[in-house]
Structure 1
């Protein structure tokens, strides 16, 4: 009988257990007839009696094997179904390991009854508090969490438990390098996302800390990114963003010093006098939760998702501006094919997804040309000078929301090794840019990027027209511009009778404004509400676009793409400005149309991931396994069943592109074939 058959309809999994541990249990299963049915049993080596193999019992027996064989704990120090008193009531802890010296004092308690982390952790806390046990473990067979009980209100995440021949202090005093972090990355081992961990911190710590959650989590991620980068460039350096047994006050002093060094490295994100304002005890809990997470990979996706969540809670949704999923961004970048000599800008940058992924696209070209390898930690490694020059000279971003600009600057500063052209400006109100750019405080942060942007103006003293090769943007859909001073600057601010409107939806003005940024022959990808493509009232907008550009492609996105923020149906418009050589004007020409068929998210906004059975020819070996749900929030992700990318991360199920050949060709590959056939200037034949 297979353990997977018994667990089939339960919330318990086998993912964390090796095949030899599973085989050991399966070889010793026998059946008994109970009420006419054959029921699986097993002889428990701790209780020394036959027990029925329920899903919970399976996980318990497997974990007992780990404790005995891998961790070296003798059977006589262990007890199962240990009674824990709560007044007159008694409950039973799943596994207890007793102290080596005080042989009836619980030292480690293992909780398996509650298959969900939140419930299990609460049960575990109550057992540890009632018995005084300093160490607690929760597991459901897939995810596992370890805790050190410092006091009844403070359970600290720890990387593991001591072996029988170790003390807890031996574990806490370990010194980690970046290689240790890669090997023991919590996001991989516990199947969690950084967003999940932040949600846990909000529930348990930050909600009652009396601080701005965005600011404090931003500071911690900013600091940890710096720590990882420093260790990534000196593999023998010990990571500092860790509690190695420090007191709370010592830890706070250490982390503040690290934050100060990060501010000096990446200027213009925090003020010089910015301090971490969490109390020492709250900070200690946050460090424990985040220290085992590896933020850097080859594309900054881990930290990007966390920033998206933090900002979406505050200003973004209110302004009708939502973060563009990174797979939509990658499709646009692949289709427009930016080159090293070309300039690029995002005029509604958000967290700067389009610029950052444009950078990665061009860097891959440079790395290939120079014959270098791209590792999964590429973003923290020292880059060739051509890569840094490209970021400093060619890539720009603008946004009018101060919080998102700081996030965008962070991601660009990291990607560009301290170089960035991310500016805090109102794209539509270019007439008043000079008021902002002349401000001394603004100049302290943005002057270098502003100086670079000015070089691309079409006229020396005008901020209206620029000479960019590429523009990619997802402008805000919601909200009207009502200021006649701004509307009067735009042709699309007029009615069909030539009179200016009293109000205009933002994205309409962004269409015209973005075209002003492009030089003749320049190309653009812009996310727009579906109505712009088929509403009768928007016919004049479509005519305006067609008059200035060749319409290259229209890609309809699935309605779930921007969930849970909005269900607005959107499409991406791809155009190229007319130019005598690069894009000669034609009256009649073919246009590439495509519609996204895979939703990529469910109706609640949870991502759907690619299973190996969807692509049976993949070279990733399929071990079979359980049948987990498709989103991070349910924790259940059996890596034996899901397809992973080169970073060991799950792949979102969509049909926009082929994930480097791991999945079937998608819309981007179809467009590239079309573009080559048409002889488009940026693809050729």
Structure 2
């Protein structure tokens, strides 16, 4: 068999990254490739609907494959499929033409389904599709770029709902809207896997379609819906409740639908208490709620590392100004590197004193578990570890809300995340003080021990991992007076000090002797002449294990600040006090610089792709960020074993 002259993969490269073919069967792609022919020195194909010769542009490839799908998978006859159909806008026919139109069975002039393929960007494509559906009165619209698909039901010109799929030639719109789904079926249709989507993509859809004009707090409402959906998946994984309730079903009126979804939210609050107030309810109108649920219902949130959820909240939190305080969500591949390098163990206590959404502690939990979260919930020993050994502190109310929710779910009902100003323990409320009392370090000296019990300064955590806020200074005297680093190497306290510098000292106070820490810091702290006293303080208190320089894109789009991750272990010569880390004057340090950040210059994630440019998924169905931090972590583990570091010396965990 001769090789085809034209290859579809080469044609798609004309618009690199804009079109994929993952929603189509490889056999259909191969057949279409075999039908390409040359005309006027360019690749052409014969339209499956009209029979006309068409230039094989990337978007035409997608269109023909979708027409083939309509005919073979959904049973629509060629006679009902039109291409380049003029769109009628009110007073006359506009200049726009719909890419594919399926007409009504009994009215060849009326649009039943409109398909848009020529706008490869999701937002632009959906807007174009809405305008066509509104103009033609089509009840169903489809946008696709060959990798992602959005199917929408036009309820009225200003209200659209997502559909799981389009009806086949024998189905009605009402029939597919009323279909019930089990958790196993949701796993099969999960759009995060089948379309390589992120939850952030879906949140953006909701913003454009509903939330921007709904008159509600988008963060709060999305949070409530995710909480309710997580509970629904958790509930459906248990015996006796096979069908998911978090769906739009056309067998109920609007109020009954609202009551069902709000009821799930109330049940979630009872199962995982302490995140929402008892009287809180979903504030979306039933119509807007139906649109939101329809776009979320075909996404599976459990059986993941919760990055799915965290990316969505990172986007929402940024919109309400978290970045203005110098606080930035830590990319999950940076967290995974730190967790792997520090290797927390089942009997060790972990804390993040600037927790944000608790990415460090949650991933430490998964590392100890040896597996990720699923809807069946953790095993008993996993639940006990998550609920007793992982702690977090943060002052931002919304960050704490996210962190508590994620930790409650991982710990199956219990959390050790507290809202508190880490730098000012004298301001902590009774909830934080009671929750952290057991982790206070005890001293043989009675007076010192009593002072610590009252002032909450020194703790006995084994591992600290944190990304403290590194914008702004602290000038409050009562806070500054607590810290040696507030003196800047002089005899008196300075008028102000960088927040991240104070966090270095405070974070070390959480560590027991021999404990270890990973902390993200601005690059300047490692080489500024004026910060020499900071480096002297660190080397006096700790052994420097490693410094990993992160790429400048790592924290974009929030900041372009160059950062590094510092890994240290507190000096300790007393085996009774903690893991041994004998003080030495000269020792090797692991240095590495990341050359592949996993983000582009705009701060968008870069994902690994196959030879055809299709995004790859890992064994959990997650998109794979294209970075080099795994390799750096593996190199450090080899270094740690060679050096005999206490936390890797006897560990045979595969890495």
Q: Same fold (TM over 0.5)?
A: yes
Does the 8 Å contact 1:405/1:422 carry over to 2? Answer: yes
* 1:66 partnered with 2:69: yes
Q: CA 1:594/1:235 → structure 2, altered by over 3 Å: closer, same or farther?
A: farther
C-alpha distance in structure 2 between counterparts of 1:651 and 1:262, whole Å: 30
C-alpha distance in structure 2 between counterparts of 1:558 and 1:61, whole Å: 41
Q: CA 1:19/1:468 → structure 2, altered by over 3 Å: closer, same or farther?
A: closer
C-alpha distance in structure 2 between counterparts of 1:267 and 1:385, whole Å: 19
Does the 8 Å contact 1:421/1:448 carry over to 2? Answer: no
Q: CA 1:196/1:499 → structure 2, altered by over 3 Å: closer, same or farther?
A: same
Deviations 1:446-485 (A, max 9, x none): 6873455568896433311111111111111111111111
* 1:670 partnered with 2:635: yes
- What does residue 370 of structure 1 align with? none
C-alpha distance in structure 1 between counterparts of 2:299 and 2:176, whole Å: 17
Alignment of structure 1 residues 453-532 onto 2, 5 Å: 453=439, 459-532=452-525
- Aligned residue pair count: 628
Range moving further from structure 2, 307-316 or 563-572: 307-316
- What does residue 345 of structure 2 align with? 339
Does the 8 Å contact 1:135/1:147 carry over to 2? Answer: yes
Residue 43 of structure 1 deviates from its aligned partner by 4.0
Q: CA 1:284/1:587 → structure 2, altered by over 3 Å: closer, same or farther?
A: same
- What does residue 395 of structure 1 align with? 390
Alignment of structure 1 residues 292-303 onto 2, 5 Å: 292-303=298-309
- What does residue 239 of structure 1 align with? 244
* 1:360 partnered with 2:366: yes
C-alpha distance in structure 2 between counterparts of 1:56 and 1:392, whole Å: 51
Q: CA 1:133/1:50 → structure 2, altered by over 3 Å: closer, same or farther?
A: same
* 1:76 partnered with 2:79: yes
Range moving further from structure 2, 86-95 or 500-509: 86-95
Q: CA 1:534/1:257 → structure 2, altered by over 3 Å: closer, same or farther?
A: same
Secondary structure (helix, strand or coil) at the match of 2:164 reads coil
Using the size of structure 1 for normalisation, the TM-score is: 0.87
C-alpha distance in structure 1 between counterparts of 2:521 and 2:270, whole Å: 39
- What does residue 653 of structure 2 align with? none
Residue 681 of structure 1 deviates from its aligned partner by 1.3
- What does residue 562 of structure 1 align with? 555
Q: CA 1:268/1:151 → structure 2, altered by over 3 Å: closer, same or farther?
A: same
C-alpha distance in structure 1 between counterparts of 2:45 and 2:569, whole Å: 69
Residue 28 of structure 1 deviates from its aligned partner by 3.7
Residue in structure 2 matching 1:549, options 528, 542, 546 = 542
Alignment of structure 1 residues 191-270 onto 2, 5 Å: 191-234=196-239, 237-245=242-250, 246-270=252-276
Secondary structure (helix, strand or coil) at the match of 1:214 reads helix
Residue 524 of structure 1 deviates from its aligned partner by 1.2
C-alpha distance in structure 1 between counterparts of 2:50 and 2:488, whole Å: 83
C-alpha distance in structure 1 between counterparts of 2:553 and 2:135, whole Å: 47
Range moving further from structure 2, 478-487 or 82-91: 82-91
* 1:159 partnered with 2:154: no
Residue 81 of structure 1 deviates from its aligned partner by 3.2
* 1:329 partnered with 2:342: no
Secondary structure (helix, strand or coil) at the match of 1:238 reads coil
Alignment of structure 1 residues 149-188 onto 2, 5 Å: 149-188=154-193
C-alpha distance in structure 1 between counterparts of 2:46 and 2:194, whole Å: 30
C-alpha distance in structure 2 between counterparts of 1:45 and 1:505, whole Å: 66
Does the 8 Å contact 1:399/1:423 carry over to 2? Answer: yes
Alignment of structure 1 residues 91-170 onto 2, 5 Å: 91-170=96-175
* 1:427 partnered with 2:422: yes
- What does residue 3 of structure 2 align with? none
Residue in structure 2 matching 1:385, options 380, 387, 394 = 380
Residue 421 of structure 1 deviates from its aligned partner by 0.4
C-alpha distance in structure 1 between counterparts of 2:480 and 2:220, whole Å: 35
Residue in structure 2 matching 1:655, options 604, 621, 628 = 628
Does the 8 Å contact 1:143/1:191 carry over to 2? Answer: yes
Secondary structure (helix, strand or coil) at the match of 2:454 reads coil
Does the 8 Å contact 1:7/1:55 carry over to 2? Answer: yes
Residue 97 of structure 1 deviates from its aligned partner by 2.2
Deviations 1:70-93 (A, max 9, x none): 111222333333343222334433
C-alpha distance in structure 1 between counterparts of 2:508 and 2:639, whole Å: 24
Q: CA 1:103/1:578 → structure 2, altered by over 3 Å: closer, same or farther?
A: same
Secondary structure (helix, strand or coil) at the match of 1:379 reads coil
C-alpha distance in structure 1 between counterparts of 2:52 and 2:561, whole Å: 60
Residue 228 of structure 1 deviates from its aligned partner by 1.5
Residue 530 of structure 1 deviates from its aligned partner by 1.5
C-alpha distance in structure 1 between counterparts of 2:554 and 2:476, whole Å: 32
